[in-house]
C-alpha cells in the first residue's frame, strides 16, 4: 500500500525527461506534486533548506510511472471478476512492477457481465485508490471479428452497438476510455464516430479488416491499434492489411507487447522506427491473471488457459492468451533486446499512453507541477522504488 505522508522527498539520479536524460539530476516531491526536476546543482535554496527524506539513486534512473492501457489482471485475479478485493489485488501487484496508472481491461463477454465490471470499477474509483490508479476501463470487445477472436470467447461476440455505449456512458460518465473493435463489421463506423465525439479512444483489434477498411475507419475517428501484429490481418506487399495500415498511417498509435513472444524483436524495432519519433508507440502488457504466479492452469475471461514457462496459451497449445508480462520487464526488453533508447522507451511506457488518455497535463512525464508518479531504477534497469501521487509504495 502507498505510504501517505506530507514530507519532502528528494531523489538524486539520472532523470529521464521527455526528450533527454539529465545526468546528475534531482527530483523533489512535496505532498503529491513534483516541485522540482532539474540539475542537482541548481536546486533552489528554498528546497535545500527544507528537511525531508533524501534518496541517492547514484547511477540509476528516475523515470515517470508506467501507464498500462491494456491489462486484464495479475496476482491471480481477472478484471472480469471485479470486486474491491480483486481490484486491490490487481492494482497492488502491478504497482509493485512500476505501473502507477492503468485501464481495467475487459474481455468479449455477455453485456450483463460487462455491466457488472463497469459498476464495480466505477464504485472503486469513487474512493481513494490505494495502489495503481484506475483511470477507467478499456473494453476489448465484444465488437470484434469472429475470424480473429484470439483468446476471446467467440460465443460472446456481438455486432457493434452504439446504444450499449450510450447507455454505459450515461450511467458512468467518463469511465470508458478505450474501445477495441473490428472496423469492418456492420455498425462499426457509427460506433467509431460516437467514440470520437466522446473523446474515447477507438482502437482496431481482433479484426479481419483490409488496409482500405482500416483507412476508411480512420477517416471517421479510429486512431489506435491494440497489440499490433497480433489478431489482425498481416502485412503483405500486395495486401497491406490491418498491420500495414497501422504501420504506415501516422494517425494511428500502436500498442506493442514487448515480451519477445507476441512480437519478434525485429518487428518491434520496425514499429518503433515508424512510431516512436511521432510519439505513437505504446508499451502494454496484455497481462492476464497468472502474471506474477507460477506456471499452471488459469482462466482468461471464461476460457481455460495453460501457462508453461511463463507463456499463456489456450488449451489448443497454440493460441496465445494474453501474457504474463509486467511493464518493468517490457521496459527492459525494449532497451536491451529491441535496441531503443531509454528516452524512447519511457515515452512508450508513460508519455504516449498519457497523451492518448488525455492525462498528459497530470502525469506521464517528470515536470514541475505534475503529479508525482515516479519510479527509481538502478543502473541495470531493475525497479527499486515506486511513488504514486507522491506517496511511496511500501
pLDDT level of residue 227 (50, 70, 90 thresholds): very high
Distance CA 115, CA 120 (A): 9
Total tally of structural domains belonging to the chain: 2
Closest CA to 143 of 239, 86, 217, 69: 217
Q: Does the pLDDT of residue 79 top 80, yes or no?
A: yes
What CA–CA distance (Å, rounded) separates 31 from 26? Answer: 17
| CB-count exposure of residue 123 (10 Å: 0-12, 13-18, 19+) | middle
How much is the pLDDT for 1? 63
Residues 57 and 76 in one domain: no
- Looking at residue 319, its pLDDT comes to 94
Tell me the backbone φ, ψ of residue 313, rounded to 5 degrees.
-140, 155
**pLDDT at 301 (0 to 100):** 81
pTM comes to: 0.97
Find the helix or strand (DSSP H, E) in which 23 lies: strand 21-30
Q: Which long-range contacts (CB under 8 A, 24 or more apart) does 193-198 make?
A: 193/220, 193/221, 194/162, 194/165, 194/166, 195/165, 195/221, 196/220, 196/221, 198/169
- Same domain flag for 99 and 126: yes
DSSP state of 107: -
pLDDT of residue 346: 98
For the residues 176-183, what does the mean pLDDT come to?
98
Q: Would the pLDDT of 96 be above 80?
A: yes
pLDDT at position 45, please? 86
The H-or-E segment that residue 125 falls in is helix 111-125
Please indicate, yes or no, whether residues 22 and 112 belong to a single structural domain of this protein.
no
- pLDDT confidence tier of residue 302, bands split at 50, 70 and 90: confident
Interior/surface letters 171-189, b for 16+ CB within 10 angstroms, e for the rest: ebeebbbbbbbbbbbeebb
Mean pLDDT over residues 303-315, rounded?
93
Let me know whether 375 and 342 are in one domain: no
Distance (Å, whole) CA 23 – CA 384: 18
In this structure, the answer to whether residues 187 and 53 fall within a common structural domain is: no
Per-residue pLDDT, 2: 57
332-376, pLDDT tens digit by residue?
Answer: 999 999 999 999 999 999 999 999 999 999 999 999 999 999 999
CA triple 308-314-315, angle to 5 deg: 85
| pLDDT score at 360 | 98
Q: Is the pLDDT of residue 313 over 60?
A: yes
Is residue 108's pLDDT more than 70?
yes
- Please give the share of the chain, as a percent, with pLDDT higher than 90: 95
In the predicted model, what is the mean pLDDT of residues 79-86?
A: 96
Mean per-residue pLDDT over the chain, rounded: 96
Residues 329 and 370 in one domain: no
Cβ-count burial of 49 within 10 angstroms (0-12 exposed, 13-18 middle, 19+ buried)? Answer: exposed
Calculated CA dihedral for residues 345, 346, 352, 353, nearest 10 degrees: 100
Q: What is the pLDDT of residue 207?
A: 98
Burial 286-317, CB ≥16 within 10 A → b, else e: bbbbbbbeeeeebbbbbbebbbeeeebbbeee
Q: What residues act catalytically?
A: 286
Q: Is the pLDDT of residue 5 over 80?
A: no
| 50 — pLDDT class (breaks 50, 70, 90) | confident
306 and 237 fall within a common domain: yes
Can you tell me the distance from the alpha carbon of 338 to that of 269, in angstroms, rounded to the nearest whole number?
6
84 shares a domain with 188: yes
d(CA 91, CA 99): 8
CA nearest to 109, candidates 154, 169, 163: 154
Residue 48 has pLDDT above 90, yes or no: no
Write the DSSP symbol of residue 313: E
CATH number at residue 321: 3.20.20.140
Q: What pLDDT score was predicted for residue 7? A: 80
Q: Report pLDDT digits (tens) over 187-207.
A: 999 999 999 999 999 999 999
DSSP 207: B
Show the domain range for 32.
2-64+366-393
Whether 153 and 163 share a structural domain: yes
What CATH number has the domain bearing residue 39? 2.30.40.10
- 138 and 16, same domain (yes or no): no
Q: State whether 163 and 215 are in the same domain.
A: yes
The confidence band for 49, taking pLDDT boundaries of 50, 70 and 90, is confident
- How far apart (Å, rounded) are the C-alpha atoms in residues 367 and 376? 15
User: Based on the domain organization, do 215 and 264 belong to the same domain?
Assistant: yes
3-state DSSP call for residue 225? strand
* Arithmetic mean of pLDDT, 237-262: 97
Give the model's pLDDT for residue 334: 97
Indicate if the pLDDT at residue 3 is higher than 70: no
Which tens digits make up the pLDDT trace of 20-38? Answer: 999 999 999 999 999 999 9
Amino acid at each position: 500500500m502507498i505510504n501517505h505522508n506530507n514530507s519532502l522527498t528528494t531523489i538524486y539520479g539520472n532523470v529521464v525527461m521527455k526528450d533527454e536524460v539529465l545526468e546528475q539530476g534531482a527530483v523533489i516531491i512535496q505532498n503529491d506534486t513534483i516541485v522540482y526536476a532539474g540539475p542537482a546543482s541548481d536546486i533552489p535554496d528554498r528546497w535545500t533548506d527544507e528537511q525531508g527524506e533524501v534518496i541517492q539513486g547514484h547511477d540509476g534512473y528516475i523515470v515517470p510511472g508506467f501507464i498500462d492501457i491494456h491489462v486484464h489482471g495479475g496476482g491471480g485475479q481477472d478484471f472480469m471478476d471485479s470486486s474491491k478485493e480483486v481490484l486491490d489485488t490487481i492494482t497492488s501487484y502491478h504497482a509493485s512492477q512500476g505501473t502507477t496508472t492503468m485501464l481495467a481491461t475487459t474481455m468479449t463477454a455477455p453485456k450483463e457481465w460487462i455491466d457488472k465490471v463497469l459498476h464495480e470499477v466505477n464504485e472503486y474509483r469513487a474512493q481513494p485508490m490505494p495502489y495503481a490508479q484506475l483511470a477507467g476501463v478499456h473494453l476489448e470487445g465484444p465488437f470484434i471479428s469472429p475470424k480473429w477472436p484470439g483468446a476471446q470467447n467467440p460465443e460472446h461476440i456481438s455486432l457493434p452497438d452504439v446504444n450499449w455505449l450510450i447507455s454505459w456512458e450515461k450511467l458512468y460518465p467518463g469511465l470508458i476510455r478505450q474501445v477495441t473493435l473490428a472496423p469492418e463489421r456492420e455498425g462499426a463506423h457509427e460506433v467509431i464516430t460516437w467514440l470520437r465525439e466522446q473523446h474515447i479512444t477507438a482502437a482496431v483489434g481482433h479484426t479481419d479488416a483490409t488496409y482500405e477498411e482500416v483507412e476508411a475507419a480512420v477517416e471517421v475517428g479510429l486512431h489506435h491499434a491494440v497489440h499490433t501484429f497480433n489478431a489482425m490481418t498481416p502485412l503483405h506487399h500486395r495486401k497491406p492489411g490491418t498491420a500495414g495500415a497501422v504501420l504506415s498511417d501516422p494517425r494511428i498509435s500502436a500498442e506493442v507487447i514487448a515480451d519477445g513472444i507476441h512480437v519478434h524483436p525485429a518487428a518491434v524495432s520496425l514499429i518503433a522506427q515508424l512510431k516512436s519519433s511521432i510519439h505513437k508507440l505504446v508499451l502494454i502488457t496484455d497481462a492476464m491473471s497468472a502474471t506474477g504466479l507460477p506456471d499452471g492452469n488459469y482462466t482468461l475471461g471464461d476460457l481455460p488457459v495453460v501457462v508453461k514457462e511463463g507463456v499463456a496459451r489456450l488449451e489448443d497449445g497454440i493460441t496465445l492468451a494474453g501474457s504474463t508480462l509486467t511493464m518493468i520487464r517490457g521496459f527492459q526488453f525494449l532497451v536491451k533486446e529491441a535496441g531503443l533508447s531509454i528516452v524512447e522507451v519511457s515515452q512508450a511506457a508513460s508519455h504516449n499512453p498519457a497523451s492518448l488518455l488525455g492525462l498528459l497535463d497530470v502525469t506521464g512525464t517528470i515536470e514541475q507541477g505534475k503529479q508525482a508518479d515516479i519510479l527509481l531504477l538502478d543502473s541495470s534497469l531493475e525497479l527499486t522504488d515506486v511513488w504514486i501521487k507522491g506517496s511511496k509504495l511500501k
